[in-house]
Structure 1
């Protein structure tokens, strides 16, 4: 029985590895019977830095979405609406 979503992982892994190979902090390693399997090793400090950067971008995106909704309310372009409309307004930032 195949694990759900593994096909997606398999199909996107080459591009993910290519991205990592281009980074100065990444170190590609090969393993497996025919050395076709590959992984990228990063230091714990670099992993923490990448994780913090991702959180920072998520926070900036969230704040941008909130600002957009506030501007629409202030400009009377968005006086009332459903939860779906609020999410649609927030998604417009992305």
Structure 2
């Protein structure tokens, strides 16, 4: 079973849970930066910087995550999709 993971001082990889994800999957087109706060089986929570303000963003996954490996592969796939959407 997948447990929620909270990252109190987590510095994510810049491509995971970043501004590109907030733009591509969270509908926050004006995001300058974003940081992942937590991830659970259904999605991830980010905060994005938009015009100098911090905005909460919830990104739902396209399926319920089964385990950590599923989370890893899903995030990699999302980064690839976000890159395609950005170009």
Same fold (TM over 0.5): no
Larger Rg belongs to? 1
TM-score normalised by the chain length of structure 1:
0.25
TM-score normalised by the chain length of structure 2:
0.26
Larger helix percent: 1
Larger strand percent: 2
